[in-house]
Every structure is written in C-alpha cells, then in structure tokens.
Amino acid sequence: MLQPLKVLEQLKARLREAVAQLPLDRDAGHASVILELPHGLSHAPDIPGPRFLFAHSHRGDLRAGYGIAGEWRAEGPERLEVLRAKARAVTADWQHLDPDETGFSGFGMLGLAASPAPSQPGDDDLPNAIFWLPELGLASHGGQAALVLTTALPSTLDALLTRWEPLLDRVVPLLEVPAQDPLTPAHLDPGDSTPDQDAWRDLVLSALDEIEQDRVEKLVLWRRLRLQGHRRFDLIRLNAALAYLFPSCQVVNVRLHGASFVAATPERLFTQRRDRVEADALAGTACRAEDADRDAEITRDLQHCEKNLREQRVVADAVSEALTHCCSQVEPPDGPRIMQLNNAQHLWSVIRGQLHPGVDVFRLADLLHPTPATNGQPRQRAHDWLRAHEPLERGWYTGTAGIVEPDLTGELWVLLRCARIDDRVADLFAGAGIVAGSDPIAEWQETGHKLAAMSTALQFA
C-alpha cells in the first residue's frame, strides 16, 4: 500500500493534469474532477466547516462532502419544486472529468426539515430545505473509492489549485488514519424531557380522542430529551459507535455551522435507480431482550399484534397510494417482515414501482414525505393537528436527507433516532405512532427504547 505522503503527491500531480483539461472559461455551470483513491473508505474525517456524511456499514457505502461549491435553499409548500428547478439547471450544465475511469461522479445532498412551514432557526440550525454541492466529496462502495472536487464556473487554473491543493493536504492524510477506538463509556447527565411524562400522557389522550372522533387514523407524537456530557462529544467516535451498534442503519451527520445534526436511521424513504423505485414502510415497534427465548417471543407477539399490524398497514397503504401518482406499475408490499436492531425491532415492508419518465428524487420526496410513520394519516389533517399541539418545532427530526446523483436520481432517508449536538450538549429526539388501542405508558416506553440508540452511542463518544 502506498504511504500517505506518496498518495498525496500522486493525487496532486493527477489533479494538476486534470484541472488543465477543464472548461474553466465557461460563463456558467459546474465542473468536477474525480480522482481514484487507493482503497475503499470505512470512515470520513471531520474537519472544520460545512460537512455532511452518509455511511451504511452493512452495504459498505459512504458519501461525504466538505465545503460548498453550490448551495440553494427554499422553504414553504413549494420548497421541493423550487429546489428541483435549481437542481435541473445545475445538472444540465455540469461537466465531469474522470481520468482514472472510476465510474464515480459528482453528487449533491438534499435535506428537508419535517415541515415546510418557515420557522425561526438559530445561527447553528439547518435551513428548512437545502440542495448542496460539496467542494470536496468522498465516495466509497464495494472496496473502491474516489475523491471528487467540484467548482462553479468560470474559474482559473491558479485559483482552483490554490483552493484544492490545501484541501487535499488537510483531508488525504486523514484518510489513512485508522478508525478511532471508542472512548471509555462516560456518564451522561439527563436533563428535562419535553414534553414530560404527564404532558405526554395528556398529548396521547388528546390524539386518541381525535382518532376516536374519526378525524384522523394515526398521529405520530415525539419528545426531546436533553443530555449533558462530561466531555466534548467526538463526532468521529460517535459515527463509529453508531455504525458498530447499528450496522444496518444509515448514519447521517450534517453540519453547516457550529452544531451537528446526527442520525442512525433504519428507515429509507426511497431509493431511485433510473426508472425503478423502492420505498420502505416501517411501523410497529417492540423492544429486544437479551434472553434468546424471550426475544423470540417478543418477535412473535409483534408479528401477531393487531395494533402494530394496523399501524404498519396504514403506512404501507399510504406509500403504495403515493407511488401510484408517479408509477406505471406498483407491486404489492413485500412483507411485513421483521427488521431487528440492537435495541428495537420493527414491522417492515418494501414497496417497488416502475416510474413514469421524468420522475426524479424531488418529485418522489414531494409524494412520499412525510409518510404516516412519522406524521400520521391523513397526511394534511395529521400535520395540521401536530403543528397546533406539539410543544416544540421538529426541525430536521423526521425530515429527510440523502444523496442526489447528476441525473437527479438517488436515495433519501427518514431522519429518525436523531440528535442535535453542540459541544457537550445533545438534544435527542424520538417518537411513537398513536392509533386506536395505543397506551400512553407503552408509547412513552417505546420512545425510551428509541432514545437509547443515540444515548448509548454518545457514552462512547
């Protein structure tokens, strides 16, 4: 294997050759250079500044972005259509140079808050909706990896090398640093839960009354738990802990300013590959048990629990119905089966469809987000009730984020098992679906199991 210094020298030499071939004098558009890395990546470094990460341990996929080559924001009911127009203009005039024939390409990130309604974000918070092209990207899959450098046009060779070579100096040596071992578990001081258990009980009972009156079929309530660490949370170690504890989940880490939004989500909103789409319907939750016999018993109970099966059907039916608006054919749900995580297990179905021509990630996100798994059913009535009754704004919790390819296909994930992390303070978020038959105490306990996913990982960060 090449030594880190040798890798850096070779990348710089190839970069200089490639930049000289870019159409830098074009009046508009973007250009990307893709350079092969000597091996696949299991983690991505954390350097100051804007950054995002999407990593899935089981699949061996990683995408990370640093800096901003292009950024477009929107809010309100038309936010996805606004961003779609921007993205179409960008990708229509996006030049790619792949001298190593890696097969990788430039990529962007799409991220949305739970609600399109404008809010009053703080300086560290993420915008309501963003389409973001990173200046430096890392892509890894199947043991292969590439580094992607992207610029807006016009530019000059000297200007690009002045920016990009120091970026390589910062990032490339860190790619050879082994993943950091978890720290000794640290105690976390619990703060307040919002709502507290009494207010939660009242909220669940109000939701059940709404359901009993046949105004809604399902409502998804949530709570925030604040934890205080005794040391600054290390995001690299946190990502590694989440990947180890939840290898079948997508680890997400997004930062524009000071605070970071982190998730280890089991729920994919959809994957689009050309004219095919797959979407998850994840609803109905039970805990896990250390004893194998007891764990198997809990699984059997979940598979036959009418309340949980009804909750899952609501989501699967809504996803299937949404896909009929953009598909020539929608297959029946595949499931429900069981998705088992370390701390919980869920009923899970996959819905597949053949897309109409011209459908892209923005159209799919508009149709599918939010699903009844995170909002309720019917969608608008549930959304309106939650906006009126929830004690806090959700921000990006139960929003969606993921990678957008140059052809505007890609994959988005529902932002669950989340935390907003700032220095030693972590605000954790988790929710529960309320349907007829829900019990306030059981739903509170369910949110506790879900909060444990992030709180356990934070102990090792």
Q: Which helix (H) or strand (E) holds 383?
A: helix 379-389
Residue 394 to residue 42: CA distance in whole angstroms: 31
Angle, alpha carbons 107-111-120 (nearest 5°): 145
Q: How wide is the angle at C-alpha 116 spanned by C-alphas 115 and 122, nearest 5°?
A: 80
Give the whole-angstrom CA distance, residue 347 versus residue 17. 52
Handedness of CA 231, 226, 245, 441 (dihedral sign): positive
Within 10 Å of residue 230's Cβ, how many Cβ atoms?
9
Pair of tokens at residue 114: 């739970």
Q: Which pair of structure tokens corresponds to residue 113?
A: 């808050």
**Which among 36, 217, 267, 411 is annotated as catalytic?**
267
150 sits in which H/E element = strand 144-152
Give the tokens for residue 56: 């899935």
Q: In this structure, are residues 403 and 271 in contact, taking their beta carbons and an 8 Å threshold?
A: no
Which residues, at least 6 apart from 390, have a Cβ–Cβ distance to it below 8 Å? 221, 222
Q: Is 411 a catalytic residue?
A: no
Which of 36, 218, 411, 446 is the catalytic position?
Answer: 218
Computed on alpha carbons and rounded to an integer, the radius of gyration of the chain in Å comes to: 22
Q: Count of residues for the chain?
A: 461
307 catalytic residue (yes or no): no
* Residue position matching structure tokens 């046949």: 214
Q: Please give the positions annotated as active site.
A: 218, 267
